[in-house]
Amino acid sequence: QVQLVESGGGLVQAGGSLRVSCAASGCTFSTCNMGWFRQAPGKQRELVAAISSGGSTTNYARSVKGRFTISRDNAKNTVYLQMNSLAPEDTAVYYCAAKRGYYSVNSLEYHYWGQGTQVTVSS
C-alpha cells in the first residue's frame, strides 16, 4: 500500500514563498508519476503540477506557471512543490498524489493520495 505524507504547509503573506514536500513509502518511487493538486473551499480539486516518474516531463496549471516548480528526488522518495510569489487565491489544501503506469494530469487517474496540507496566503 502506497502512503503519502505531505509537510511544509502553513501561513504566508502575499508575495512570499513556501515549499511543500511529499514523502512516499510502499512503492517503487521511481516508477510512480506524481502530482500536486489543490482544493479551495467551495471549489473542485484541481491540478497544480505533475511530474513523470523519471522527472523528464512536467505540467503546470496556467494559474501557477512561472511561480511554482515541481521536482522530485527519487533517492529520497520525495516530491516537492516550490511556491513563489504566492497570492491569496493560492489558499487551499494541497494534496500529493501518485499513480503507476502512464503519465497523466487527470486527478481521476491517480490511485494514491496524501492527507493534504493547508496553505493559507494572507493579503
The tens digit of pLDDT for each residue in 89-112 reads 999 999 999 999 999 999 999 999
Cell of 99: 499513480
With helix as H, strand as E and coil as C, how does 42-55 read?
CCCCEEEEEECCCC
Instruction: Round the average pLDDT of the chain to a whole number and report it.
Output: 96
Examine the pLDDT at 29 and tell me if it is beyond 90: no
pLDDT at 26: 84
pLDDT at 1: 83
In whole angstroms, what is the distance from residue 22 CA to residue 32 CA? Answer: 13
Q: Cite the beta strand spans of the chain per DSSP E.
A: 3-7, 10-13, 18-25, 33-39, 46-51, 58-60, 68-73, 78-83, 92-99, 112-113, 117-122
pLDDT at 64: 98
Contact in structure between 115 and 94 (CB atoms under 8 Å): no
